[in-house]
Chains A and B, each alone.
Chain A
Amino acid sequence: MWTIAKREIGSYFKSPIAYVLIGLFVLLISIFFWPRLQASRGDFITILGDMGFFLIFIVPILTMRTLAEDRKNGTEVLLMTSPTSLYKIVVGKFIGAYTVFLVTTGISLIYPLIIIMMGGMFTIQLTGGYIGFLLLGAAFIAIGILASAVTENQIIAAIISFVALIVMWVADTLATTVGGIVGVILEWISLISRYQVFTKGILGLAEVVYLLSFTIVILFLTVRIIERRRWVQG
């Protein structure tokens, strides 16, 4: 599993893809951060809330090649027939993509550091927000990997995960429009509404469990989909 993860991390940082994504992400945060600096406000938690939205555009590109590339290049067969279990392969791929996300998140700590240097405070609320962000990133990456498992075309994989993430985002807005029991279900499903609980300053067991179990279930489904294809296709 770690071998696969290392190989994935290497392939990300040996190609320009990770740098482009991290650069784009940092640019977006900086654009939102600059006006705050001008207003002498150090409330980074609101930007952290927006960062969840940025992930919708970053994650599909980050994950599109994880499994689709192997399938297209024909290396999937080698992986499947290797002694490594399918679970370890998928989790290894996940760790690879998640490491890039962790590096990005690490770089984003520059902004709270600037706030502290300028006399502001690093609040415990921000810590909670970052915990939520890390969990949301994991769930998004799991969706991206699942999308990459269902097609051999990287662009289609990116589009599928982008649409899935947008649906997750819209589910939250749609919930308030529809209302009633459907609204409650949509709100319950929505990853964004779960994430917003963290950014508004609540660390809830229900949200932590939801985002963690969502990631695990999606990765599990990814394994089952590949397994099913292996047996069905022979």
Chain B
Amino acid sequence: MMTNKNYDVKKIERSRKLKFGSSAIIIMISAIIVFVMINLMASWATFEVDLTPEKLYSIGDQTKAILKEIDKEVQIYGFIDETRLSDDSYHWKIIDLLKKYDTYDNITVDYIEPNANIEFINELDPDGVLDLSKNNYVVVCGDYKKVLKYFDLFDAFASEYSTYGVIDTGSRAEMAITSAINYVSKTDRTNIAFTTGHEEFTSQYDYIAFAEKLELNGFIIDEVNLYKQPITDETDIIIIANPTSDFYQEEIVKLQSFMAEGKSLYILMDSFVTNDRFLNLQEFLLDYNVQLNYDKVKEYDTSFYLEGNQYYLIPELINNSISNDIFDGFSNMMVPNARSITVLKVINNNLTIVPMLITSDKAKLEGLYEDIDDVTGAAYLAAAILDENTGSRLMLSGTASFIQDQVTMSYEQFDQEATKYVLSNIQWLEGDTGEIFIEQKDYFINFISITTKQANTIGGLLVYGLPSLILLAGLLVYLRRRHL
């Protein structure tokens, strides 16, 4: 009888355990499911308020107006794995900002790990000149692409005190992204005309690959014979590449009028002997405080020339505001048969002259003509000149064949760097922000006025005084209540 009673009690207990145990588990699981559902809905709402003083994660009115008017599909790719980014990664500033762009119908943002998607990268950049490597971003619209790198996105300077080697002082992300979107989606594109009539290098014979890359980057390529034709209003940049004879006075006048309109000129010229010197062209260059020298640069520093040929130079890229973009990921560029250029010491406050390439101080500048002496020492091979008065830009290069098809095919290993260098120069000639001006967002620093003595007094009080006071209160409470 007793056994049966015990058995019944156990049976009841077991069924109660089972009943309440299982129902409790079901309720708990249901609660977790509801929790997940609510949070998924909340994350879809994407309601966020940017509380930063600099409005780091917000887009301004100008950006909103541009994005509203875009009628083409624009794709932004970030070459990162956002699931592996550390919390302090600078990419978050970009990702959080890009979320705002992504809310517009025609803008799509995706993140791609470049090393795991090589085929896709090759499809996007078959020539490998866009530098679609890790940590970069690219804005794509149809066939047009614009790459954004670290220095495009942040105002930063090199620092030995920083873990990453650079210290950011502000964000240019909105400026860079909006400009890039505007650039790839715009209908009116920059027109580049190669001059003809002086047996120059042209886009149809000598610069075929380079011209293709220019077209890929959204430029329209044309040719102009300055002697026979007028320069059209549509022309934004003229390229003079390796002319073998001087320009006529009429041509120079046309160039001067062209530059007076605030447009741009790129002169590239190798070192070679011609019957006549370029007197008219040199006179034109005098207005920009630069001259092409009648010499040929021979390097004697082994790290500055290609093994076996001292005229095939590997110059140093000078760090400046224009070359900053090229520096990121830049290795070496090979420059064959170059001449030096001179920056004249004439005071002209309207001109900003920035040297771009320099030889080693062991270089020898061999005179091309008998009346020109050899000189030894470092020499500039290229310079960028901005005329503040007219807004015109001139890029003078003592080398032209480094992007010639024949050279780039023979020395394929240097092709990519050469293209990168010239594209950046042309971008500068174009005026890379175009008509968009979005202010850089300088990081807010909450400075306080405090002397060292005050800082140490307050700091000492906070570290020693305040915690001791609180602990003392605790001790008093303990002493008063210990016998209760």
Contact = CB atoms under 8 A, between A and B. Distances in A.
A41 to B, nearest CB: 7
A7 interface: no
B474 A118 contact: no
Given A20-B474, A34-B463, A206-B43, A228 B84 contact: no
A51 interface: no
Contacts of A118: 448-450, 454
A209 B38 contact: yes
Contacts of A69: none
- Residue of B13, B468, B477 with highest tally of chain A CB at under 10 A: B477
Q: Looking at chain A, what size class is its interface with the partner chain?
A: 35 or more
Nearest to A172: B87
Nearest to B44: A206
B16 interface: yes
Given A19-B477, A41-B448, A213-B38, A205 B87 contact: no
Interface in A120-152: 120-121, 123-125, 127-128
B455 A214 contact: no
A88 B466 CA distance: 36
A18 interface: yes
A86 to B, nearest CB: 12
**By DSSP majority rule, is chain A's interface helix, strand, loop, or mixed?**
helix
Contacts, number: 191
B68 to A, nearest CB: 24
Given A37-B450, A118-B449, A123-B446, A23 B85 contact: no
Contact of B48 (A29, A30, A177, A202): A202
B467 A16 contact: no
A77 interface: no
A224 interface: yes
Interface of B: 13, 16-17, 20-21, 24, 27-28, 31-32, 35, 38-39, 42-43, 45-53, 56-57, 81, 83-87, 92, 96, 444-450, 452, 454-456, 458-460, 462-463, 466-468, 470-471, 473-475, 477-478, 481
Given A15-B477, A34-B462, 11 more contacts: A23-B474, A24-B467, A26-B466, A26-B467, A29-B462, A179-B84, A204-B49, A206-B47, A209-B42, A217-B32, A231-B16
16 contacts: A13-B477, A30-B459, A33-B459, A33-B462, A34-B455, A34-B462, A38-B452, A41-B445, A44-B446, A110-B466, A176-B87, A179-B81, A183-B84, A224-B28, A231-B17, A232-B20
